[in-house]
Amino acid sequence: MNARPRHAIVEAIAPSQVQPGCAACHFDELNWCRAALGGQCGQTSIEPASIEQASHIVPARRIICRAQDLHDAVPIICRGWAASVVTLSDGSRQILSFLLPGDLVSTALLFESRSHCLVEAITEVQFRTFKRSGLKATLFKNPDLFEKLAQAWIEEKNRADQFIIDLGRRTADERIARLILNLSERLARRGMMPEPTTSSVVEMDFPLRQHHIADATGLTPVHVSKVLSEFRRNGLIKISDRTLTVLDPAGFHRVAHTR
Amino acid sequence: MNARPRHAIVEAIAPSQVQPGCAACHFDELNWCRAALGGQCGQTSIEPASIEQASHIVPARRIICRAQDLHDAVPIICRGWAASVVTLSDGSRQILSFLLPGDLVSTALLFESRSHCLVEAITEVQFRTFKRSGLKATLFKNPDLFEKLAQAWIEEKNRADQFIIDLGRRTADERIARLILNLSERLARRGMMPEPTTSSVVEMDFPLRQHHIADATGLTPVHVSKVLSEFRRNGLIKISDRTLTVLDPAGFHRVAHTR
DNA sequence: CGGCGACTTGAAACGTGTCAATTAGCGTGG
DNA sequence: CCACGCTAATTGACACGTTTCAAGTCGCCG
């Protein structure tokens, strides 16, 4: 029961179907996804079947993983955008992080089975799940892999810390500008930014609704709209058709970093 | 050069000098501190000298570890309160977390040598440092220890996430009340709350200045003062002589959680 | 066509920040 | 012993940023 059939798979994914995000996927670096996809495993041989559990595709707005649920599977985003969300008793929501292709939903899930927050698809999302037990075993056999996981964990924590600073000490304009720039940097690192069109103008996929921005920045959707309008009026950015263009990168960075 | 003299020690600490925080110290659980202190090492034998590097005592307000500095030592708080602080270019500060006895300054320091933020003593602080290399080696030899480290890491991340929610979605009153309650819970878990005096009234050491509260909650010291005055006026709390008393726990929790 | 969700815009309300004046506490040095 | 300067905290008046409420547009889909 170790060699052949991978059945729990919801939608079959051909081994050759590597997503754009895979290029920068931590787990691709770790040879896990690639191994699970049937590619060569590098020096360390890992049996894919013992680790990969399933691959899923969910439509936008669907829940990927519920808060408080117990899972013995660890999900990794392969395609699309998602968000970790907490809902307060009064109905207001806070997005803790946006998940892009290549992201582990939460590194904490490697060591505990209970998710602390809801994970929600923003676009259509494809993700794979891996068996925690198999993943952990592999980790302990490979200090190199482990070291890379630690880096991912540290990065997750750094993003959280930056987020705290943004929410605690920055104005609405700064928060929104920084959110956009952070996302664009993360996309760029994954090789997911469209080719630069004209000099210095940055263009990116931007599937977020304004209420997502509001939930992430601790603002109201109304105010987000006003700030974005102001950005547009000042020729800093342009949004149309789920694509965001930074027309004046220098000026936009000034808004974002400023203070 | 491995066996005998531990010299880098700034102030000698007798092996028997176990601090109150040690009871709940993650590293005591892990048998490290206790091992380094000369106690028995449990089932897993660890050579203290290869791990402990030094013990230090610094006065209030002194810097324990600077941002961007490189260290091959990992500091753990043994006594007193400290804070991880980030200073922005405009001079405003954000406290990312308060460090209590038993806390690793940052679990990230186990895997990277660069600290991302300043760590500052609030009271007089005693801390020990341990060699990263030795600590990591020990970790890998002991899955049990490792599992506990993972728990500490997860808790650190959960606190950060809660912090994000507080800053993003809660009012000044809620933030301040929650900060106080969080600290009291953390102290209680360490057995560091003074004995309950009268029924239901909670009393705790509270060395924070109002500017610490302001830096942690993303508010101004002036506003913190107003909120605390209001709490006092409503008979919720009392602060005097670096001691905080929650006079009306039920009411105070209502203020904190409410919404 | 009607309905719905996403977004926009304006006016008013509210919470928090800023500025300024004042008090209390504390260690230092005359 | 008191005067001094320093930091921490308090309080009030006012300014500003953000929220709330409300009305309205636009595009999309049944």
Show pLDDT as tens, one digit a residue, over chain A (259 residues). Answer: 343 333 333 344 444 355 666 666 666 555 556 544 444 334 444 555 567 778 999 999 999 999 988 889 999 999 999 999 999 999 999 999 999 999 999 999 999 999 999 999 999 999 999 899 888 888 888 888 888 889 999 999 999 999 999 999 999 999 999 999 999 999 999 988 887 666 678 899 999 999 999 999 999 999 999 999 999 999 999 999 999 999 999 999 999 987 6
Does the pLDDT at position B37 exceed 60?
no
A96 φ/ψ angles, rounded to the nearest 5 degrees = -90, -30
Distance of alpha carbon A118 from alpha carbon A95, whole angstroms: 9
Distance of alpha carbon A10 from alpha carbon B184, whole angstroms: 47
Interval B118-172: pLDDT, tens: 999 999 999 999 899 888 888 888 888 888 889 999 999 999 999 999 999 999 9
What's the Å distance between residue A218 CA and nucleotide C12 C1'? 22
- Whether any strand C atom is under 7 angstroms from the Cβ of A171: the reply reads no
Residue A232: other Cβ atoms inside 10 A: 13
Residue B108: other Cβ atoms inside 10 A: 23
Does the pLDDT at position B39 exceed 90?
no
Residue A11: predicted pLDDT: 40
Residue A90: other Cβ atoms inside 10 A: 8
Does the pLDDT at position B21 exceed 80?
no
Residues of A in contact with B153 (CB under 8 A): 108, 111, 153
Is residue A89 packed enough to be buried (19+ CB in 10 Å), middle (13-18) or exposed (0-12)?
exposed
Distance of CA B99 to the CA centre of its chain: 2
Percent of chain B residues past pLDDT 90, beyond the cut: 60
- Please name the amino acid found at residue A243: T
Interface A-B: count of C-beta contacts within 8 A: 96
Residue B8: predicted pLDDT: 31
In B, residues 199-218, which contact A (CB 8 Å cutoff)?
217-218
Q: Is B143 on the interface with A (CB under 8 A)?
A: yes
Q: Which residue has the higher pLDDT, B201 or A16?
A: B201
Interval B102-114: pLDDT, tens: 999 999 999 999 9
Residue B18: predicted pLDDT: 59
**In what helix (H) or strand (E) does residue A238 lie, and over which residues does it extend?**
strand A237-240
Interval A215-248: pLDDT, tens: 999 999 999 999 999 999 999 999 999 999 999 9
Query: Is pTM, for the whole model, over 0.85?
Result: yes
CB contact under 8 A, B167 and A218: yes
Residue B85: predicted pLDDT: 97
Nucleotide with C1' nearest the A168 CA: C16
pLDDT-derived band at B15, boundaries 50, 70, 90: very low
Dihedral angle over CA of B61, B62, B64, B67, nearest 10: 80
Residue of B209, B11, B242 lying closest to B127 (CA atoms): B11
Is residue A53 packed enough to be buried (19+ CB in 10 Å), middle (13-18) or exposed (0-12)?
buried
In A, residues 76-95, which contact B (CB 8 Å cutoff)?
86, 88-90, 92-94
Nearest CA distance, B189 vs chain A (angstrom)? 21
Interval B49-106: pLDDT, tens: 567 778 899 999 999 999 988 889 999 999 999 999 999 999 999 999 999 999 999 9
Residues of A in contact with B90 (CB under 8 A): 259
Residues of B in contact with A117 (CB under 8 A): 161
Residue of A68, A100, A78 lying closest to A9 (CA atoms): A78
Residue B3: predicted pLDDT: 37
Provide CB contacts within 8 A for A122, sequence distance 6+.
A60, A61, A80, A81, A82, A83, A98, A207, A208, A212
3-state per-residue secondary structure call for chain B: CCCCCCCCCCCCCCCCCCCHHHHHCHHHHCCHHHHHCCCCCCCCCCCHHHCEEEEEEECCCCEEECCCCECCEEEEEEECCEEEEEECCCCCEEEEEEECCCCECCHHHHCCCECCCEEEECCCEEEEEEEHHHHHHHHHHCHHHHHHHHHHHHHHHHHHHHHHHHHHHCCHHHHHHHHHHHHHHHHHHCCCCCCCCCCCCEEEECCCCHHHHHHHHCCCHHHHHHHHHHHHHCCCEEEECCEEEECCHHHHHHHHHCC
- Whether any strand C atom is under 7 angstroms from the Cβ of B223: the reply reads yes
- Edge to edge, the sheet with strand A202-205 lists A202-205, A243-246, A237-240
Residue B221: predicted pLDDT: 98
